[in-house]
Amino acid sequence: MTNRRVLPHRAASVLLITVSLVASLLLVEGALRLATHLSSVNHYLFPVMVGFKQADYRALFEYDEALSKDVLRPLRGYRHVHDGGEYDYDITTVECAGFFIRPPCHTGPDSVFHFGDSFAFGFGVPVDETFVALLDRAGPLRHVNFGIPGDNLLAELDEARAVIERLPPGERPQALYFHAFLGNDFRGSWQYLERRGELPEAAVAHRSWLAQQIKDSELRKLVKNRLTALRFEWKGDSRVTDGVNFFPKNYTEIERMDKTALGVVDTVARASADRAQRLRELYPGAVVVTLIPPKEIFLLREDPAPYERRRDALVAALEPHGVIILDMLDAVAPDEVLPLYFAIDTHFDREGHAWFARLLRARPPLSQATAAAEP
């Protein structure tokens, strides 16, 4: 009899604990959903991780409400140090057309503006060794670096339009370059559309109600974000051994498993075409998009088909608007690639920036400008 009485009480206790736990989680979830409507709080809770430690992230970036993305803060001599000892350099920014960028700033018909993510920004190298600075010194045109780590092609096209709108016609550049890293650019662009409320209903993945609620949970995002932050902070206390922060990504397997992957490609390509058209209505000069493939394509000899699908989608979307496409995959042999990247970090090293500057100078429109300037 005693056991019969105890069991219902235990079951009731377990049920009560479970209900209390679920209710507490729902309260936290509700509070987080309310908090995300306040942009400053939302940005603090869910910052975009771009490879910086948390201290670097907080020092370098602030959120731009109008553009729905991070932009650089005013900085002077901020020291950026790699945990594994691959780089140690200072970051300084200057104001240019309403944004803060790595110097110098120059406007006018003899200038070229470069937009992009951490590759264009020059993640890991002093400012005077970035490919933009090397192009600037080589002349005859002045090159200006609007690169922001963690950016994506759609955000860059929007930023470029904002920059052009702020400049009088006589101060506008001769050419615009957009440097797109096709490792995470499509996912970043998709998330950018999501933040701006621009995703059509049909583009949202269809899942079971419970699976969709779990995926959309702000609490889940917060926990994942904080675990990532802890990993960055933990790495800051010890040196990183060679290769430990290089995470291989098999893109073929990802696209085979992820049923929304091709939908992401198509949606982002269409959004790129729309933005290119709007930019063209405002800006008649040369527009170039360079495509930088993931290091894994070369290092792991992965099947390039998923990369090629991304490239082909962008080519089909952008070329009708007069955009010149330069694919790095067509410009370098696989056995020549690894010296262009850091051994641990996956960005261009000094040699990589020098190589990329030479590549851009050898291709139109920069090669045409150089030839026209020669006596």
The answer, yes or no, to whether residue 337 has pLDDT greater than 60, is yes
Per the DSSP assignment, residues forming a β-bridge with 176 are 113, 287
User: Tokens 């650019």 appear where?
Assistant: 185
DSSP state of 174: S
Q: How many residues does the chain have?
A: 375
Distance CA 174, CA 113 (A): 8
pLDDT band at 321 (very low <50, low <70, confident <90, very high): very high
Return the pLDDT at 209.
66
Return the pLDDT at 197.
86
Return the pLDDT at 55.
75
Return the pLDDT at 208.
64
Of the candidates 153, 187, 149, the one whose C-alpha atom is nearest the C-alpha of residue 57 is 149
Q: State pTM to two decimals.
A: 0.81
> Which tokens hold the place of 1?
């009899």
What is the average pLDDT across 255-266?
62
Spell out the residues 6+ positions from residue 121 whose beta carbon is closer than 8 angstroms to its own. 102, 130, 145, 147, 148, 149
Burial class, 326, CB count within 10 angstroms (exposed 0-12 / middle 13-18 / buried 19+): middle
pLDDT band at 44 (very low <50, low <70, confident <90, very high): low
The answer, yes or no, to whether residue 143 has pLDDT greater than 60, is yes
Considering the chain, what is the average pLDDT of its residues?
Answer: 82
What is the average pLDDT across 8-12?
76
More confident residue, 142 or 218: 142
Judge contact between 353 and 219, C-beta under 8 A. no
The answer, yes or no, to whether residue 344 has pLDDT greater than 90, is no
User: Tokens 């262009």 appear where?
Assistant: 340
Return the pLDDT at 186.
86
Taking only the tens place, the pLDDT of each residue in 208-254 is 667 767 777 888 877 876 776 566 555 543 333 333 333 334 444 44
More confident residue, 31 or 225: 31
Distance CA 179, CA 68 (A): 19
Distance CA 317, CA 322 (A): 10
What is the average pLDDT across 189-207?
75
The answer, yes or no, to whether residue 50 has pLDDT greater than 60, is no
Q: Are strands 78-81 and 88-91 parallel, antiparallel or unpaired?
A: antiparallel
49-53, 162-166, 252-256: range with lowest mean pLDDT: 252-256
DSSP state of 363: S
Burial class, 265, CB count within 10 angstroms (exposed 0-12 / middle 13-18 / buried 19+): buried
Of the candidates 345, 372, 375, the one whose C-alpha atom is nearest the C-alpha of residue 118 is 345
Burial class, 327, CB count within 10 angstroms (exposed 0-12 / middle 13-18 / buried 19+): middle
Return the pLDDT at 241.
34
Percentage of the chain exceeding pLDDT 70: 79
Distance CA 228, CA 221 (A): 11
Name the packing angle between helices 366-373 and 350-362 (round to 10°): 70
Return the pLDDT at 240.
32
Return the pLDDT at 51.
62
